[in-house]
């Protein structure tokens, strides 16, 4: 079997973007993602090794994947992550490696990651208020996150994005300060609607603070926003700039404005399961192939089977929606 050839699903969507979770562990406990206590993490031996991740990446790169995002859990708690970045950067066909992090360990690792070939950073920042940060993440850490952001800027990372999950009843007072912070420091602020992927299963549509409401709050509190041209048709965010030219804001609205028809992403969980959607209820066991002496062709076939089974959309708003068994930290956001 010839491995090469694009990863096209039944709806004509071409998959070029792989999100790799490198761990289910995390150093904080955001309520929209993890349980508060007694988290049962996967034993180390169940996680893919860097060599296994690299091999998987080589195979999907032959099928047109050219962008990688490392995520978790918190990817920076995985020992020596820069080594994985370096391995992936050398895979032929991969032209972009990005990282999504909570930023707590970033100040100490940013230089090593940049040197290894990391191109872009998304840093989660839900609040600039210490109490609210604690209420959400159930841990201290705001100072470290801010230190991580500024260290990454000093080191020379460009176009750093900040991600805030928008939750009704919590995020409203944070909107204008976060928008102002992004303007002041030349960062892009992105607001992400709360999705039903919290470990505690408490998600409710009433808790979703829509991108439209956030936009209105920013326009009232800071100034008019104008839409920016779409750089990449598969991007999940709608990007805006303030009319005075200072500061960019992105809205990721999976609940109120699903973007599934433009999706080009596949996912690999930390223990080597391929998922064709964040909300997928089925997985394809790449680790079994990797650890049983399976060929690259078998691995490619497994990925094609996953993409072939991809549904048209996540269906969060439908009565038939089935919440995946895994929570966000076990999938990789």
Applying CB under 6 A, does 194 fall inside the site for ligand SF4?
no
Structure tokens at 283: 């997985």
Applying CB under 6 A, does 102 fall inside the site for ligand SF4?
yes
Applying CB under 6 A, does 170 fall inside the site for ligand SF4?
no
Residues binding ligand SF4: number (CB under 6 A): 13
Q: Which does 198 bind (CB under 5 to 8 A by kind): ligand SAM, ligand SF4, none?
A: ligand SAM
* The only residue of 18, 50, 67, 74 in contact with ligand SF4, by rule CB under 6 A: 74
- Cα 227 to chain centroid distance, Å, stands at 23
Applying CB under 6 A, does 33 fall inside the site for ligand SF4?
yes
Q: Which does 194 bind (CB under 5 to 8 A by kind): ligand SAM, ligand SF4, none?
A: ligand SAM
CB of 36 to ligand SF4, least distance (A): 10
Question: Which of 8, 34, 130, 84 is CA-nearest to residue 333?
Answer: 34
Is the distance from CB of 180 to CB of 155 less than 8 angstroms? no
CB of 50 to ligand SAM, least distance (A): 18
Half-sphere exposure of 98 (CA within 13 A, CB side): 18
* The only residue of 14, 29, 129, 311 in contact with ligand SF4, by rule CB under 6 A: 29
CB-wise, 73 or 247, nearer to ligand SF4? 73
CB-wise, 28 or 307, nearer to ligand SF4? 28
Applying CB under 6 A, does 329 fall inside the site for ligand SF4?
yes
Is the distance from CB of 20 to CB of 54 less than 8 angstroms? no
Q: How far is CA 8 from CA 38, 57, 100, 107, 308, in A?
A: 40, 17, 26, 39, 7
CB-wise, 194 or 240, nearer to ligand SAM? 194
CB of 125 to ligand SF4, least distance (A): 11
Residue whose tokens read 């034993």: 43
- Per-residue x/- track, 117-136, ligand SF4 (CB under 6 A): -------x------------
d(Cα 87, Cα 55) in Å, to the nearest integer?
10
Question: Which of 110, 125, 19 is CA-nearest to residue 67?
Answer: 19
Question: Which of 60, 51, 49, 53 is CA-nearest to residue 3?
Answer: 60
Question: Which of 309, 324, 165, 185 is CA-nearest to residue 248?
Answer: 185
Site of interaction with ligand SF4 (CB under 6 A): 26, 28-30, 33-34, 72-74, 102, 124, 328-329
């Amino acid at each position: 079997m010839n491995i090469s050839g694009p990863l096209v699903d039944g709806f004509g969507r071409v998959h070029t973007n792989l999100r790799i979770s490198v761990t289910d562990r995390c150093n904080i406990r955001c309520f929209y993602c993890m349980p508060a206590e007694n988290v049962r993490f996967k034993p180390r031996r169940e996680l893919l090794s860097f060599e296994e991740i690299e091999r998987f990446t080589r195979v999907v790169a032959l099928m047109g994947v050219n962008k990688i995002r490392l995520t978790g859990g918190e990817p920076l708690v995985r020992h020596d992550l820069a080594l994985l970045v370096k391995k992936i950067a050398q895979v032929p066909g991969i032209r972009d490696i990005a990282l999504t992090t909570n930023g707590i360990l970033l100040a100490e690792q940013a230089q090593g990651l940049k040197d290894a070939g990391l191109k872009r950073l998304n840093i989660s920042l839900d609040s600039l208020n210490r109490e609210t940060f604690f209420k959400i993440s159930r841990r201290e850490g705001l100072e470290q996150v801010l230190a991580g952001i500024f260290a990454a800027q000093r080191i020379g990372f460009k176009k750093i994005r900040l991600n805030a999950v928008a939750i009704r009843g919590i995020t409203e007072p944070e909107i204008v300060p976060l928008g102002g912070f992004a303007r002041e420091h030349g960062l892009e602020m992105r607001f992400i609607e709360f999705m039903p992927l919290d470990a505690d299963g408490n998600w409710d549509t009433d808790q979703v603070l829509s991108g439209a409401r956030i936009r209105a709050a920013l326009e009232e509190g800071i100034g008019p926003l104008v839409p920016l041209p779409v750089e990449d048709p598969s991007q999940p965010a709608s990007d805006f700039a303030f009319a005075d030219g200072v500061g960019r804001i992105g809205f990721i609205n999976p609940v109120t404005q699903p973007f599934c028809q433009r999706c080009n992403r596949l996912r690999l969980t930390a223990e080597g399961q391929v998922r064709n959607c964040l909300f997928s209820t089925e997985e394809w066991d790449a680790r079994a192939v990797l650890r049983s002496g399976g060929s690259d062709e078998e691995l490619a076939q497994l990925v094609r089977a996953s993409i072939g089974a991809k549904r048209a959309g996540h269906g969060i708003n439908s009565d038939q929606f089935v919440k995946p068994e895994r929570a966000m930290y076990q999938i990789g956001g």
